[in-house]
Copies of this chain bind each other. A is one copy, B any other.
């Protein structure tokens, strides 16, 4: 491949980083203001609600929300204390734990989702022409596919 410094492509990278940072900031602030939910909490609720049976193994949930095992353990502790989720034993494998949504968690998500999705639309997707959407998804998918899965998962070396 041609490997010139190529400032055009470098510019994309900068723009990508800045857009991401700004987007996360706004969406987080909006979600926090409107429903007192950090984005990470929202993400957990979404992943659980989309899972079959509204529950997931802790480790799978960790991968879904892009967090390390220990990171999720602590996050889940906080959310459990808030009554939005709960741990259940997983009979099939007694090492495992099932992370499940409580009714309160479902309700909280149901109330917060519309505003958040509207935010994503307003701040992000709105700027996307119909045709561009697929191009972009495909691009991100290519990037993602060529990358190793999550590094920095914890556990011993």
Q: Residue A110 at the B interface, CB < 8 A? A: no
CB neighbours of A121 from chain B (8 A):
3, 6, 9
In chain A, positions 104-157 with a C-beta closer than 8 Å to chain B are 117-118, 120-121, 123-128, 132-137, 139-144, 146-152
Q: Within the assembled complex, what's the spacing in Å between the Cα atoms of A103 and B142?
A: 39
In the complex, the answer to whether B147 meets A127 with C-beta atoms within 8 Å is: no
Specify which of A9, A17, A29, A128 lies most central, judged by the most chain B CB atoms within 10 Å of its CB: A9
Stretch from A18-26, A53-61, A73-81 contacting the other chain: A18-26
In the complex, the answer to whether A15 meets B144 with C-beta atoms within 8 Å is: yes
Contact with B along A74-98 (1 / 0, CB 8 A): 0000000000000000000000000
Q: Within the assembled complex, what's the spacing in Å between the Cα atoms of A143 and B146?
A: 26
CB neighbours of A139 from chain B (8 A):
127-128, 132, 136
In the complex, the answer to whether A151 meets B10 with C-beta atoms within 8 Å is: no
Knowing A26-B151, A151-B25, the reply to whether A123 touches B135 (Cβ < 8 A) is no
Interface residues on A, range: 35 or more
Chain copies in complex: 2
In the complex, the answer to whether A6 meets B125 with C-beta atoms within 8 Å is: yes
Knowing A118-B3, A126-B1, A128-B9, the reply to whether A25 touches B152 (Cβ < 8 A) is yes
CB neighbours of A125 from chain B (8 A):
6, 9-10, 12-13
CB neighbours of A140 from chain B (8 A):
12, 15-16, 18-19
Q: Residue A5 at the B interface, CB < 8 A? A: yes
